């Protein structure tokens, strides 16, 4: 990953984006393309602050996240509003340092989920470590014909 160009999420702004912008970005930058979802967020460059950061024009969209609508599930005897983090992608060849964290924080501040879950393909280069760094806990593997995904969940207490 060291060979990738980097930008820092601290130099970016997260905003809700429309379906068309999310679709075109994900079709170009995520191996599974776009997905059905309720919430779409884009991470846009505000400024560049150093030699170790790729200089991109202000307003450049560098990452997109998509989240589902709430699914009400029974957990430990309580009804929980659970959301799925369906997609995250940055521009191909670009590492957005802190991008996932900033996107998740914005979603949590705006939506106040009880929990967020997501899946990482078992062949993901980092094995889903990015989720662990964000405080998600592994719930094991989900095996379906043709693929294996690792399931992660993060619970929130307000």
pTM, two decimal places? 0.91
Query: pLDDT tens, 20-33?
Result: 999 999 999 998 89
Mind listing the domains of the chain with CATH numbers? 5-155 (3.40.630.30)
Query: pLDDT tens, 125-151?
Result: 676 889 999 999 999 999 988 889 999
Q: Check whether 1 has a pLDDT greater than 60.
A: no
Give alpha helix (H) positions in the chain.
Answer: 19-29, 99-111, 129-133
Strand ranges (E), 50-146: 61-67, 71-75, 78-90, 94-97, 115-121, 137-144
The counts of H helices and E strands in the chain are 3, 10
């Amino acid at each position: 990953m060291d060979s990738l160009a980097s930008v820092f999420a601290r130099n970016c702004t997260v905003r809700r984006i429309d379906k068309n912008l999310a679709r075109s970005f994900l079709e170009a930058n995520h191996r599974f393309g776009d997905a059905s979802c309720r919430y779409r967020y884009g991470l846009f460059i505000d400024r560049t602050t150093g030699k170790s950061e790729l200089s991109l024009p202000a307003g450049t969209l560098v990452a997109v996240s998509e989240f589902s609508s709430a699914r009400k599930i029974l957990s430990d005897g309580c009804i929980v509003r659970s959301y799925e983090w369906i997609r995250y992608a940055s521009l191909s060849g670009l590492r957005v340092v802190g991008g996932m964290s900033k996107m998740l924080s914005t979603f949590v501040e705006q939506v106040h989920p009880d929990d967020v879950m997501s899946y990482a393909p078992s062949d993901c280069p980092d094995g889903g470590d990015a989720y662990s760094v964000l405080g998600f806990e592994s719930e094991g593997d989900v095996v379906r014909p043709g693929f294996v995904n690792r399931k992660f969940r993060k619970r929130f207490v307000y």
